[in-house]
Structure 1
Amino acid sequence: MKIVAVVGPTASGKTDLGVQLAKALDGEVVNADSMQLYRGLDIGSAKASLEERQGVPHHLLDVWDVTEPASVAEYQRLARAAIAQVHARGRTAVLVGGSGLYVRAVLDEMAFPGTDEAVRARLEQELAEVGALALHARLAELDPAAAAAIEPRNGRRVVRALEVGEITGRGFVAELPEPTYAAPAVQVGLRVPRPELDERIARRVDVMWERGLVEETRELAGRGLREGPTASRALGYAQVLRVLDGEADEGWAREETVRATRRFARRQESWFRRDVRVHWLDAGAGDAAGLVDRALRSVAGHE
């Protein structure tokens, strides 16, 4: 059975379209947003409420504790198992999310290098001592392609790239094979004009604050959020943690969340544009009415 994937940048409308497609295709949604895998990261990750899910079963929400590091390899195992179960019920699996590597891990033939705990521990200690920028500079010398693809301040990914290079002797980016579907699939991408997407992101951040992002972050901090190597860096939560620690005020946190989310959306767009298999649909305000019908036609056209 074919997997239907809904991809694109944050705030483009993936969640709603995924639900509507699942209803139309007798399907179930499988999450491909790395932050929605964490229990408690609800407001900041725009996790769909029970009402917003409209009775459609959703899988791989609230899987990990906020103290656990993210693992794409583990996600791949969980997601493929969930999809197999959906298909075994005779239903369509609708993969929804904007975490590009997670989407590829599910759809494509892709094996992930193992990890070496000693090497990882040493690199993480260096990260704590010298910072992400220094390690990124080293990565740029050893693996320029990986350095170009990784945000310099993303210490977790820089450490992983250095670890893979040390373990395998090959470049980190070289570990990503040419896109080849592991099973039949079709990807529907949502495209929103940049000014409108920027405005949507600003409105989403306003709603996050109105719904209680600060209070949610404070509660999660009591459950170990600061110690979580992945969840503590989630957009919105990272900024509010600085407020709670007395390092910034809420005005800065709010504006910085908007700026950081807009930068993140541009990286998502760049990632998915590189995949020529994505069938793009305009999802701007003027094109919303027939979006579900156009998406269904895209899916049908790939039968």
Structure 2
Amino acid sequence: MLYVILGETCSGKSSTALKVCKENSLPLISADAFGVYQGFDIGSAKSTPKELEGIENYFIDSIPWGQAMTVFEFQTNGRQIINSFKDRNVDGVIVGGTFLYTKALLFPYYFPKEENTGPVIKEYPPLNEMLKTIKELDPESLNLIDTKNPRRVERAYDLAKSGNKREDIESMYSNLPLYPCVFIRLKVDKDQLRSKIKERVLIQVKDGLFEEEERLEKANPEFSSTFRGIGFKEIYQGKREGWTKEKIINQVIIDTVQYARRQRTFLRHQFPYMVEVDKFDIPSLIKTDIEIRNGMESLEVPLINSTSNLMNSIESIYSKGIRQCGIYGDYDENKIHSLYPLLQIVGVTDLNSKGKKDIKFSSKMDF
């Protein structure tokens, strides 16, 4: 089982993940696009070597400054690591703020060939022209994408032009994970988060954020000119545009708050089932869950009728290591989570549909 700890930047997810790993002797995969870089320590707010002591960890300080890592490379290497967990029969923890990395790692996510080699700036035709091309090459795929979302249309356009068909796009946007997972989101108050972000940025400045940027820029000027890590890019830009130190610091705070907002939106739209838990409760809940499962896990996503022995059905799937399901009809989520705290539930309104938010349920119970 993979315990995936999600939350906005500065929400406390990293410290929570470290506590879970230490208490349960679990390996840790970091899904952070900037924590991989050696030397970018203060700006990335990565865990320190002392904090990581005794924890098997991946993608932290793993790449020299100046060497880029693509999402495709993270996906490929990360899946090899997860497969090694399976071979060793161990659970794992995944944490990090780059949710696209998490999505690409754990879900069917296809990359057109040219995206495998690194970031490429591409020119696309107007939206209506791309839709016309997709309709000509693979009309069925139009039913699988949001035709008003330019980014999704661009990816579907790339797939159609490269000769890939409907099943590739369907797989790409499937919301069924490839591995047994529990997605846990930290409860966070937006106002408190803003205060924590400001506090953290000021601590980073005190700890040497400006000096870190200067050192890394000298080490590799070309790479530094394109690096987009928050806390680095603002200093880099500010020095060239004559900003005061105060303005740079304020811009770092603004950009971090905006980043947290984008993270919140991504979580809401890209992860169809999560459980929202207070961060202080997460370590004990995971510890108990590991004991309850006793090595059992499952990729099944059953659909349950709330009017037919709902709690008995939930007990049945929970005892088998199933941690996600759909429930059709009315149900009391608080009551369910009081007994089964890590069960991820998707409410379903159309019983005859293949699933909500692209989820295709593996079975229907008690219908």
Fold-level similarity (TM above 0.5): yes
> Deviations 1:111-133 (Å, cap 9, x if unpaired)?
22110799x76x46x8xxxxxxx
Structure 1 residue 246: deviation in Å? Answer: 4.9
- State how 1:1-303 maps to structure 2 within 5 Å: 2-115=1-114, 123=121, 145-147=148-150, 164=158, 167-168=161-162, 176-224=172-220, 226-227=222-223, 232-274=227-269, 275-283=271-279, 288=280, 290-296=281-287, 303=321
C-alpha distance in structure 2 between counterparts of 1:139 and 1:114, whole Å:
22
Residues 148, 78 of structure 1: alpha-carbon distance in 2 compared, 3 angstrom cutoff: closer
Structure 1 residue 141: deviation in Å? Answer: 8.2
Structure 1 residue 194: deviation in Å? Answer: 0.3
Q: Which runs of 5+ in 1 are unaligned?
A: 127-134, 150-159
Structure 1 residue 249: deviation in Å? Answer: 2.1
Residues 216, 139 of structure 1: alpha-carbon distance in 2 compared, 3 angstrom cutoff: farther
Q: Which runs of 5+ in 2 are unaligned?
A: 132-146, 294-317, 322-367
> Deviations 1:14-65 (Å, cap 9, x if unpaired)?
1111111112332011110111122221111111002222421211112334
C-alpha distance in structure 2 between counterparts of 1:71 and 1:57, whole Å:
23
Residues 263, 117 of structure 1: alpha-carbon distance in 2 compared, 3 angstrom cutoff: closer
C-alpha distance in structure 2 between counterparts of 1:162 and 1:182, whole Å:
21
Structure 1 residue 68: deviation in Å? Answer: 3.5
Residues 269, 117 of structure 1: alpha-carbon distance in 2 compared, 3 angstrom cutoff: closer
C-alpha distance in structure 1 between counterparts of 2:128 and 2:212, whole Å:
37
Does the CA-based 8 Å contact 1:32-1:103 persist in structure 2? yes
Residues 247, 147 of structure 1: alpha-carbon distance in 2 compared, 3 angstrom cutoff: farther
Structure number having the greater helix percentage: 1
C-alpha distance in structure 1 between counterparts of 2:44 and 2:196, whole Å:
14
> Deviations 1:128-150 (Å, cap 9, x if unpaired)?
xxxxxxx8x9679858744478x
Residues 224, 94 of structure 1: alpha-carbon distance in 2 compared, 3 angstrom cutoff: same
Superposition CA RMSD, Å: 3.4
SS at match of 1:182: coil
C-alpha distance in structure 2 between counterparts of 1:258 and 1:213, whole Å:
13
Does the CA-based 8 Å contact 2:72-2:115 persist in structure 1? no
Structure 1 residue 86: deviation in Å? Answer: 3.5
Residues 217, 148 of structure 1: alpha-carbon distance in 2 compared, 3 angstrom cutoff: same
Does the CA-based 8 Å contact 1:25-1:92 persist in structure 2? no
Structure 1 residue 188: deviation in Å? Answer: 1.0
Structure 1 residue 265: deviation in Å? Answer: 0.5
Q: Provide the aligned length of Structure 1 versus Structure 2.
A: 274
C-alpha distance in structure 2 between counterparts of 1:210 and 1:174, whole Å:
48
C-alpha distance in structure 2 between counterparts of 1:184 and 1:13, whole Å:
24
The residue identity in structure 1 corresponding to 2:178 is: A
The residue identity in structure 2 corresponding to 1:282 is: D
Structure 1 residue 261: deviation in Å? Answer: 0.7
C-alpha distance in structure 1 between counterparts of 2:198 and 2:91, whole Å:
33
Output the TM-score relative to the length of structure 2: 0.65
Does the CA-based 8 Å contact 1:235-1:260 persist in structure 2? yes
C-alpha distance in structure 2 between counterparts of 1:116 and 1:213, whole Å:
32
Residues 21, 270 of structure 1: alpha-carbon distance in 2 compared, 3 angstrom cutoff: same
> Deviations 1:205-232 (Å, cap 9, x if unpaired)?
11111111111111110122543576x1
The residue identity in structure 1 corresponding to 2:283 is: V
Structure 1 residue 260: deviation in Å? Answer: 0.7
C-alpha distance in structure 2 between counterparts of 1:234 and 1:280, whole Å:
28
C-alpha distance in structure 1 between counterparts of 2:78 and 2:237, whole Å:
33
Does the CA-based 8 Å contact 2:175-2:272 persist in structure 1? no
C-alpha distance in structure 2 between counterparts of 1:188 and 1:21, whole Å:
12
C-alpha distance in structure 2 between counterparts of 1:140 and 1:191, whole Å:
41
Residues 218, 102 of structure 1: alpha-carbon distance in 2 compared, 3 angstrom cutoff: same
Output the TM-score relative to the length of structure 1: 0.77
C-alpha distance in structure 2 between counterparts of 1:297 and 1:117, whole Å:
40
Residues 116, 202 of structure 1: alpha-carbon distance in 2 compared, 3 angstrom cutoff: closer
The residue identity in structure 2 corresponding to 1:6 is: I
